[in-house]
């Protein structure tokens, strides 16, 4: 049985969720209003991370420092795992309990370059953030920025703070996009060693490219998507 940390344990900074970093606290303060309430503020933070930090599936770094929420904020692009950590850090900085969750999903939309790098259509360790709002945990997935969704023909994942916003099951044409395979549970912080072991097992080519710093940036990734989708 999977057990998850309680709300009171999910407020303090942790190794990767460095919610006391000055850049995190400054941004969280600028995006929220103490009088607005936790749900309104959580929604504001979600949309900022979703759209202002561009999604890049090639940013699978092997360095622990790269997964710090403050490092992702400075980088301005990341894949789902660091983006979920960043959202958790911003929420904790505003007193909203936050933990991170992971699942394995089959992704039915990709690009030729990504398929060659991953050598599978399964996204292991697909990351999301779980927020404690109005007495219950609600899942939020800030991975895919709106421009990328438009290029892929996906409906952007919306988040209202009251319902789970987990993953894109279908694209706008009704084709299956993501298929849920395995729930890895929710954690106080990123289980880094297990993540790296999983990446080494399933994505050796992707990790090799990351270690040589030859991975495309987010705009190159989006250009690949545009070429293959005609958008």
User: What's the pLDDT tens digit per position in 176-231?
Assistant: 567 888 999 999 999 999 999 999 999 888 887 776 655 666 666 677 666 766 65
The H-or-E segment that residue 219 falls in is helix 218-229
Would you say residue 102 lies in a domain? yes
Q: Is the pTM of this model over 0.85?
A: yes
CATH code (residue 178): 3.10.620
Domain range for 204: 7-229
Would you say residue 177 lies in a domain? yes
| Closest alpha carbon to 31 in 55, 51, 13, 2 | 51
Would you say residue 98 lies in a domain? yes
| Residue 151 banded pLDDT, cuts 50, 70, 90 | confident
Quote the number of domains for the chain. Answer: 1
Would you say residue 1 lies in a domain? no
Would you say residue 47 lies in a domain? yes
Name every residue whose Cβ is closer than 8 Å to that of residue 220 and which is 6 or more positions away in sequence.
Answer: none
| Residue 166 banded pLDDT, cuts 50, 70, 90 | confident
Would you say residue 137 lies in a domain? yes
Distances (CA, A) of 134 to 42, 103, 125, 155, 159: 12, 24, 27, 27, 15
Would you say residue 2 lies in a domain? no
Would you say residue 157 lies in a domain? yes
Q: Any alpha helices (H) in 119-162, and if so which ranges? A: 146-152
pLDDT digits 0-9 by tens, 108-145: 566 777 777 778 888 899 999 999 999 999 999 999 89
């Amino acid at each position: 049985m999977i057990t998850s940390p309680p709300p009171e344990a999910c407020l303090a900074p942790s190794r990767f969720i460095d919610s006391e970093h000055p850049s995190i606290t400054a941004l969280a303060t600028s995006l929220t209003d103490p009088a607005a309430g936790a749900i309104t503020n959580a929604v504001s933070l979600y949309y900022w991370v979703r759209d202002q930090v561009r999604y890049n599936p090639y940013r699978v770094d092997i360095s622990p420092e790269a997964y710090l929420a403050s490092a992702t904020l400075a980088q301005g692009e990341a894949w789902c795992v660091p983006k979920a950590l960043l959202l958790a850090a911003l929420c904790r900085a505003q007193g909203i309990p936050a933990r991170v969750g992971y699942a394995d999903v089959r992704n039915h939309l990709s690009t030729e370059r990504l398929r060659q790098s991953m050598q599978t259509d399964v996204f292991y360790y697909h990351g999301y953030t779980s927020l404690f709002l109005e007495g219950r945990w609600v899942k939020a997935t800030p991975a895919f920025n709106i421009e990328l969704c438009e290029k892929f023909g996906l409906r952007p994942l919306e988040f209202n703070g009251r319902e789970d916003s987990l993953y894109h099951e279908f694209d706008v044409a009704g084709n299956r996009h993501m298929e849920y395979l395995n729930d890895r549970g929710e954690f106080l912080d990123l289980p880094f060693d297990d993540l790296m072991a999983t990446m080494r097992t399933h994505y050796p080519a992707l990790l090799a490219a990351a270690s040589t710093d030859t991975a495309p940036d987010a705009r190159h990734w989006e250009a690949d998507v545009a070429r293959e989708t005609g958008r």
